[in-house]
Structure 1
């Protein structure tokens, strides 16, 4: 709410309302210089029912009511929705509408809007700036109270008050002058530049030294084998106490499972929670999920030389090299991209396994939708979970006579249980990895539009790729169209015949061709319309927002073409006509005479 009146806090550094749990503020409703003054002016117009007024008011209510605030995300959970931008754009539109309305009544509305903006800002400035200090030793009035960055608060206050003063001066001195638009643009640009400098400066105070970014990230490099020749991914050691920089793999040109990116396929968001990994704006699975790294073809893991790793969570990695300030470890359980299975497990059975152990079983069995169990039984054996979920500390065996499968499970399927000890579990995991390697693709190449792989199978089977599933993917096997299968909650697979196969995946955004056709047709129609009007000599007569927002009694509507020459001629001929009609004789006698009769 404070961002309606003040420039917003920098991301993840709450200041004005310090202490609440919401730490992110990358979107805000602040309109530079104008603030809410234009919106208040719009609401003051006599035209009560307009879609813009209703929409702005509805979005403002949504911004302060949690259930409504969540509505935009709940209705579309496939992407990271920043619906707040919609409200900002509507507020800007309302401000522009009122700036375009230059009648005298609009001026009064603007003055009222500026005053309302000042009152709203004061409602924050007074209590926040003069609240009691949290310091029990000096219980006295203190400017800013418990805010951690007091000087920053007063800078924001200064920007807001200066914007209000500038806005008032511009309307008083330049409104209805040719310079009004230029002065508004210059003043608003100045406010934007000032706040930008303040924002960047504040951010730098919370940033680490730029030497690391320059020396190790931008100018530094890590030389591994070429991923184009033998595809692999990298990652960085991460645990509860060590959090490396995001996206370093992108700088160095290596694919990575770690990435800070808010726009990802919805399948990524479906997959991670199923194995106990939280996925919000970034993919940041801790190193203890070693099964995920094998499944995702992670071959190298990098650890900063200044970090101390926990050997208990760094299972399966051995020292390889030291480069660019990083110790490099190689994954002994690396599985090449694209592989097959001999057994499958349905999602229902997979979810009976303890969540913290599920990542290991990604390398044991392909996880498939429940309703497709019959289809996958053509290629491999179905397994069902047998036994109670076991915590990591448990070492007691899981006996065969424990509660096994539910009544609807197939009697022909085999059963599994968690390994009795950690050592047994790791031995079984390594055996599963070795089996996946033996059934991996011979080659794998990728490009900006898709990827290509070759494989040799002993029998008809399904080949799995740890590439996020999306509706835009299309597959071909040996040149023929093939169905793209969704497995493991969020990855892709394709059925291949016995023997050698060439697999090709290509991506096209859903609706792209349709969008191109519609856009092209729209351009053709628009050009034809403009050409038609030009040939007829017609010009646009409609003024945007004319009916809805301007005060109707101040609008002069011209319905006929005015003949200025004719009006001037009639006015000239009628000079003195009224006087002649009242007393023609007197008029003739007195024309040209002074008071003395001359």
Structure 2
């Protein structure tokens, strides 16, 4: 909501050959051509636009990539969006003429909501301009973009929610003041019986009102229903798209579905005693509706005397006739073996209006004397004279299970999309329990998935711990090795100094030893001859040990000194280089870990 279409326009301009640009271009074409729009819904005749979420998500991706692209400039895209904003603002001001009356600012049905939306859009575009400017100048903009985008999303959502519920969060405020939400005073005598269940029916354009009143209804706007409902309406020729809206001339369905009351909206005039549905009579007018009661009401759960196979039923050419036979004979699958139940097979049936009334009375006599339901299913009680099928106008689904007198029973798909179960002679307690198909296996899979995820996280944590320990051990070994190299280098620097000193001292010791030797041989109490003899001996010794030996010692000393200097220099260079830096870094890392 912050950048509108600016990022998308910029993206499509800069990357025309990108798959996202091509996809959005195709989606725009599909949006303007009805047949292509319906393609996303298997060419449904009703208009839907929910597939727009697909291109919107792609547009969000395009906007994000445009923001991350340092070379993309959204300025031109923002100009286009601003132009559209100005155009809509100008159009909203223009007058409209209706019934020779000129009205200004009547472009929107809800002007307050419209102009608040324009104002929010303007603020978003201004901030988008600022972010674009920061981005083009090479200044930090990511933080601004994240905060502004989050704020814009929250603001737009808040505005939508506020105006979406501004007419009232409660049922009695949601419905127009003319149609009050309190229950009707129906003088229902069935409340005193064990089988007090009944359904209501509504006139057009008031599909879900019974929900607010707490009544079950055969007419409802509900797009998520079992597939069997769709099959049923299709077989009797009634369109069922997002709502169940059987026309009033399909009076057979009111008996089949245990409908007791019909609520017909009136425009404030006196209630009409003429019923819009056959078999119903006027009861009273209340809460803006005329109420009619079914004189041929059939309680929930009843039996038949006849049955017809689906193939024979389909052979009946008229949909209305197929609908009317449902009150006289139960339609069963061709594969069902009906020999075990007391039903007579027929292949064709013609039910008139009078026949319908008579059959309703028969079905009512065979109905369950008790019927209760809750969120898990329902329980019915009936007393049967023969082993036969008990029909319930509850949509068939794989999630249903049934028991008769505590024994599991087969659920038979009857009347194209509903349920029936075989009852025994005498008293029968029939219990239906519903668990959505796949819920149990889904719960098991989810539980196993959670356990596997926990195991995976534990193993991953253990592996990470071992990897970290191994890395620390390796790092410690490398650090020790580096220290060892450094110490050996320092030792090699110090050892040549000792050698050199020894080399320096060694010649002196030798000379001292030689001198001492000569002194010993020539004591102090010698005369001049002795001195001369000593001199001559010294000269002889010098001839035997020439000065070149001392020179060699000096040369050895100089070589050692040179080696020491070179080693010191190499060590100093090495110290200033990588080894000691790594050791210092390792010590810093150890301190940080501690």
Q: Do they fold alike, i.e. is TM over 0.5?
A: yes
Aligned twin of 1:499: 426
Instruction: Give the one of 220, 234, 238 matched to 1:259.
Output: 220
1:176 equivalenced with 2:141 (yes/no): yes
Distance 1:47 1:535 in 2: 49
2:4 to 16, 35, 49: 35
C-alpha change, 1:149 and 1:304, in structure 2 (3 Å) is closer
Q: How far does the alpha carbon of each residue in 1:216-275 deviate from its partner, in whole angstroms, 9 at most, with x for none?
A: 54455546454994243332452xxxx352322222222111222221112222222433
Name the structure 1 match of 2:329.
Answer: 365
With a CA cutoff of 8 Å and minimum separation of 6, indicate the structure with the bigger relative contact order: 1
Give the superposition deviation at 1:95: 4.5
Instruction: Give the aligned partner of residue 365 of structure 2.
Output: 438
What's the counterpart of residue 485 of structure 1? Answer: 412
Contact 1:125/1:157 (<8 A) preserved: no
For residues 441-461 of structure 1, the C-alpha deviation after alignment (integer angstroms, 9 at most, x for no partner) is 232111101111122222222
2:450: which partner in 1?
523
Higher helix share: 2
For the Cα contact (< 8 Å) 1:453–1:502, is it kept in 2? yes
Q: State the match for 1:382 in structure 2.
A: 345
In structure 2, the CA distance between the partners of 1:96 and 1:441, relative to structure 1 (3 Å rule), is: farther
TM-score normalised according to structure 1 size: 0.62
CA pair 346-83 structure 1, distance change in 2 beyond 3 A: farther
1:344 is aligned to 2:307: yes
Which of 277, 283, 296 is the matching residue for 1:333? 296
The equivalent residue for 1:297 is: 258
User: Residues 89 and 118 of structure 2 are in contact (CA less than 8 Å); yes or no, is this contact kept in structure 1?
Assistant: no
**Structure 2: how far apart are the matches of 1:291 and 1:570?**
104
Larger-gyration structure (1/2): 2
Pick the aligned partner of 2:71 from 77, 99, 108.
108
SS in 2 for 1:372: coil
Are residues 85 and 118 of structure 1, via their aligned partners in 2, closer, same or farther at CA, if it must alter by over 3 Å?
Answer: same
What root-mean-square deviation, in Å, do the aligned CA atoms of Structure 1 and Structure 2 show? 4.9
Count of residue correspondences? 460
Does structure 2 retain, via aligned residues, the 8 Å contact 1:222–1:324?
no
1:550 alignment counterpart: none
Gapped regions of structure 2 (runs ≥ 5): 468-474, 480-571, 578-594
Q: Which runs of 5+ in 1 are unaligned?
A: 1-31, 386-415, 419-424, 541-559, 564-568, 575-598
- Aligned partner of 1:421 in structure 2 is none
Q: Is the 8 A contact 2:198 2:299 kept in 1?
A: no
CA 1:33–1:534: 2 relative to 1, 3 Å:
same
Helix, strand or coil for the counterpart of 1:465?
strand
How far the C-alpha of 1:340 sits from its partner, in A, is 1.4
Q: 1:439-495: per-residue Cα shift (whole Å, max 9, x none)?
A: 222321111011111222222221111011122112222222222222222211122
In the alignment, which residue of structure 2 is the partner of 1:18? none
Q: Aligned pair 1:235/2:200, yes or no?
A: yes
Which of 277, 280, 286 in structure 1 is aligned with 2:241? 280
Equivalence for 2:462: 535
Aligned-partner Cα distance in 1 for 2:98–2:279: 53
Q: Secondary structure at the residue paired with 2:71? A: helix
Contact in 1 for aligned 2:202/2:219 (Cα 8 Å): no
Distance 2:22 2:451 in 1: 35
